[in-house]
Structure formats: C-alpha cells, structure tokens
Amino acid sequence: MANAQPTKLRILDAAEELFAEYGFSETSLRQITKDAEVNLASVNYHFGSKKELIRAVLERYLKILVPDIGQALLELNRRTSSPTLEEVFGVFVRPILALDRQRKNGTRILLQLLGRGYTDSQGHLRWFFITHYGDVLDTFIAMVQKAAPQLNKSELFWRLHFSLGTFVFAMTSSDALMDISRVDFDEEIAIDGVIKRIIPFISAGVGAPAHNC
Amino acid sequence: MANAQPTKLRILDAAEELFAEYGFSETSLRQITKDAEVNLASVNYHFGSKKELIRAVLERYLKILVPDIGQALLELNRRTSSPTLEEVFGVFVRPILALDRQRKNGTRILLQLLGRGYTDSQGHLRWFFITHYGDVLDTFIAMVQKAAPQLNKSELFWRLHFSLGTFVFAMTSSDALMDISRVDFDEEIAIDGVIKRIIPFISAGVGAPAHNC
DNA sequence: CATAAATTCAAACAACTGTTTAAAACGAGT
DNA sequence: ACTCGTTTTAAACAGTTGTTTGAATTTATG
C-alpha cells in the first residue's frame, strides 16, 4: 500500500516546511515525523542526528541554486564587460524563482530557511556555506566590487551584509508582510514580487556614496 | 548581606544579556537565575512567567527609547520644514546611542533584543509595540512619506520593512561582523560605527526610484 | 518583641526534547 | 522457502524545559 515517497524524502519534505515556518530549534523531531507519517527513530536512522537533517534540508536546495547563480554570474560577465549593481543583484532573481518549479513553494521555503539558518545558528551554517560555495561567493563579490568601485573592501563588506540582512529578514517575515499587503493595500503580492522589490532597494543601498569619517 | 541589587533587577540584567546573545527560546530560566545568582523560582514569583519576563526586559528599554525618538522627530520637524531621508533616519542615531549611558552596552543589547524579538516571535511583540508606541511610529512614517514623495503607500511599506530588516539583522549579527571586521580589515568598529554605516544604506534604499511593473 | 506580610529556597512536577535499543517486519537473492 | 541485510517500529532512556509547591527565611509593621 500507501506511501508513494520513500521515508527519507518524506522526512526532508516535512522538515523543510516546518523549519521554514517555525525555525530549527522550535521544530521537534516528533512534529516532523508526525507530519511525514514516519516513525520517530527513522530520522536518526537515515540522517544520524537532527543537526545533520538540518544540513541535508539546506543542501538539497543549495546544491542546485548556488551553481545556477554562479553560472548566471558568468553569463552576465560575458554579456557586458562592466555590469551595474542592479544587474549583478538581478542575477539572483531567476535562479531563486526557478526553485518554485523544482518544488512547490520552493522559493519561499529556501529563502525562509536561509533566514532561519543565519539567525538561528550563525557560525555553523556560515562555515558550511563558505567552504562549499566559496568560489561562487568570490566571483559575486568581485563583480559587486567592480560595479561599485567607490567602496573600499571594508565598506563593501558591511553593505553586502546589510543586503544579506535585508534579504533574509524580508523572507523570514514574508508571509506576514504579504498578508498585511493584501489586507491594507488590497495588493496580492507573491514571493517574486517581494524579490523584485528588494533588488532596487539593495542596489541603491550598496551603491550609495561612500561613507567617510 | 551581599547582593547590592534587588532580585528583580538582577534578573532583568542577567536576562537581557543572555537574550541578546542567544535568543529568547535558547535561553533557559536556569541559566538566567544562575547568572543573576538568584533562585530559580524567583523569576515566576516576580514576573509570573518567562513570556512576561521577555516583555519586561524589552519594555525597560523601549519606554525610554521610543519617546526619546518621538521627541527627536518633532524637533527635526521644527528645525526644517521638509527634512531629507537621511535626516529622518539619522534621528535614530542619538537616542539609540544614548542607551549606552543608561546601561553598559545598552545600545548593543537593545538592538540585539529587537532583532531577536522580531525574528523569534513575530506576531506577539509586533502587536505590543504598535499598541504602545503607535503614535511615534505614525509620525515617523509621515515624515518618511514626505521625504520620499515618489513612493506610494505600498512601496513605502515594503521599503520600510526592508530597512527594519537591514537594521535588525545587522544587530543580531553585529558581534560576529565586528569580529570579522577587526580580523580581516584591521578595523576596530564599535556599535556606533555600525549604526552610522547603516543610515546611508537605508536612506539610499528607501529613496531609490519607484518600482513600476 | 511579636506578628504579619513579603520574599527566598530546595525540591518536585509534568511535559517535552533528541537519541538509543532491541525486537519485529520487510525485501531481495539464492 | 530460507537467509541476510535493510528498514521500520514501539518503547524506553537520559536530559532539559517552564512552572508549582510548601516550608524556611527575611523584612517590615504594630
């Protein structure tokens, strides 16, 4: 009978949804296994521990998304010799939205997961990301640097982290914000609308005149 | 004998430090009472529950900070009839930094608390803030609106939340970021340096050309 | 000093957490 | 049909959580 999906996948699917909604530490293995309709012990059997489950959930997205972004950056580099900030940041849009075709609500889930991952346990996942996807990160930073030459390395560092914060925060609260937008402004805004509004914001922020003091 | 501070204050002092560092749900009452050198049960005796302790910790700051900001906004309004975005956002700097005189590391603690409060339990604290300090929020929004007249209410809503995200995220990770800045760029940046870097970023982001599609 | 109220304290509570165990069920391969 | 490795299962484990209890203690009041 019954469960179309093998256990391991059912766990991943249930976990990513709960992690995105409630955060990592606020989601219990019992909740995950109940939603996935599998036995409690199967998480530790298949993944070893909760921590490794978290990493597996994130990795399933990142290993598709990050190379995709990396390639899009290279393509942009090939098209125009010196792209603007808005073009560089705009590179994120298509790969991120493409996740919705890979999995239902994939875009929302990944971005909420990223937000959770960054605020819940900063050091651990940060290290994982840099060691696995550092090369893409480097080419991205180099392109931003080139598009905003007035910024020294330190200014750039801070502004890129501000941008990350903007992104991450908007995504962790995207559900609530979209609700408010619908009720207060009678505007039905989906996740791609949010992303397309963030890009000009970030671009202008990073491109602001350099700060001296 | 002994403890200079009364129990209630010792709990608040220890709690705010731990909440800022580890977040609300990751901080246990046992840890708080151990740091405060008081009995475990005294939290429930003096505050009723952990949830009310969280609110008390935040309220101690907000009831000073928000009226202070409100007054600074009014003063700015009196000085110049139509202030720029950077001037409006700049209003936050002095009151926030003033917290450092009220309590050691007060600025960092409050801002980290705000970050925690927003990402950990979105609905609850949001409601509390709006019902208690909604008037200051309203005058602030009106001034931003006036300084960026090209934005309609919806655009403004999104960009202000992006700004909030920038702020909050930068603060929750401020410790880590300042560490990196010291090691990688040999720059010793304190919390006021971070704030003064955020203001131009936010100002430029909110003031970016309106987005149409 | 005696009485009453406010506070502190150690202990226990009930509920929850991630993890482990050992037996049961399952699914090929021969 | 039997065996062997894989997977699932229910149960228990050991630890933590916020909260409550009732007695001991301190503090203030008459």
Q: Do B119 and A165 touch (CB under 8 A)?
A: no
What is the 3 state secondary structure string of chain A? CCCCCCHHHHHHHHHHHHHHHHCCCCCCHHHHHHHHCCCCCHHHHHHCCHHHHHHHHHHHHHHHHHHHHHHHHHHHHHHCCCCCHHHHHHCCHHHHHHHHHHCCCHHHHHHHHHHHHHHHCHHHHHHHHHHHHHHHHHHHHHHHHHHCCCCCHHHHHHHHHHHHHHHHHHHHCHHHHHHHHHHHHCCCCCHHHHHHHHHHHHHHHHCCCCCCC
pLDDT digits (tens, 9 = 90+) for A171-184: 878 877 888 889 88
Q: Which nucleotides of C are covered by protein (CB under 7 A)?
A: 7-12, 16-22
Res B116 pLDDT > 80: no
Distance CA B17, CA B13 (A): 7
What pLDDT score was predicted for residue B4? 52
pLDDT digits (tens, 9 = 90+) for A61-100: 999 999 999 999 999 999 998 999 999 999 999 999 999 8
The residue to which tokens 């008081």 are assigned: B38
Mean pLDDT, residues A1-12: 76
Mean pLDDT value across chain B: 88
What pLDDT score was predicted for residue A71? 96
What pLDDT score was predicted for residue B111? 82
Length of chain A, in residues:
213
Structure tokens at B209: 């050309």
Instruction: Report yes or no: A19 and A44 within 8 Å, Cβ to Cβ.
Output: no
What pLDDT score was predicted for residue B212? 60
| Bigger pLDDT: B7 vs B100 | B7
What pLDDT score was predicted for residue A175? 79
Q: Do A162 and B122 touch (CB under 8 A)?
A: no
Length of chain B, in residues:
213
Distance CA A115, CA A112 (A): 5
Mean pLDDT, residues A9-34: 94
Instruction: Report yes or no: B176 and A127 within 8 Å, Cβ to Cβ.
Output: no
In angstroms, the separation between the Cα of residue A156 and the nearest Cα of chain B is 11
Q: Which nucleotides of D are covered by protein (CB under 7 A)?
A: 7-12, 16-22
Query: To which H or E segment does residue B27 belong?
Result: none
In angstroms, the separation between the Cα of residue B1 and the nearest Cα of chain A is 41
Contacts of B194 (CB under 8 A, 6+ apart): A158, B170, B171, B174, B177, B178
- Say which of A25, A122, A158 has its CB closest to residue B197: A158
Across B182-200, b (16+ Cβ under 10 Å) vs e yields: eeeeebebebebbbebbbb
pLDDT tier for residue B2 given thresholds of 50, 70 and 90:
very low
Distance CA A104, CA B103 (A): 48
- Cα–Cα distances (Å) from A64 to A12, A48, A70, A128, B27, in that order, read 16, 23, 10, 16, 35
Q: Using the CA of B51, which nucleotide's C1' is the nearest one?
A: D18
Q: Measured between beta carbons, which residues in chain A are less than 8 angstroms from residue B198? A: 162
pTM: 0.85
What pLDDT score was predicted for residue B128? 77
Q: For chains A and B, count residue pairs whose Cβ atoms are closer than 8 Å.
A: 128
A64 burial (CB, 10 Å; 0-12 / 13-18 / 19+) is middle
Instruction: State the best of A166, A178, A183, A196 to mutate against chain B, taking most chain B CBs within 10 Å.
Output: A166
What pLDDT score was predicted for residue B144? 96
What pLDDT score was predicted for residue A94? 94
pLDDT digits (tens, 9 = 90+) for A151-203: 999 999 999 999 988 988 888 788 778 888 898 889 998 888 999 999 999 99
What pLDDT score was predicted for residue B130? 83
Residue at minimum CA to C1' distance from nucleotide C6: B45
Res B115 pLDDT > 80: no
Q: Do A185 and B157 touch (CB under 8 A)?
A: yes
In angstroms, the separation between the Cα of residue A200 and the nearest Cα of chain B is 7
Percent of chain A clearing pLDDT 90 (strictly above):
62
Instruction: State the best of B19, B157, B162 to mutate against chain A, taking most chain A CBs within 10 Å.
Output: B162
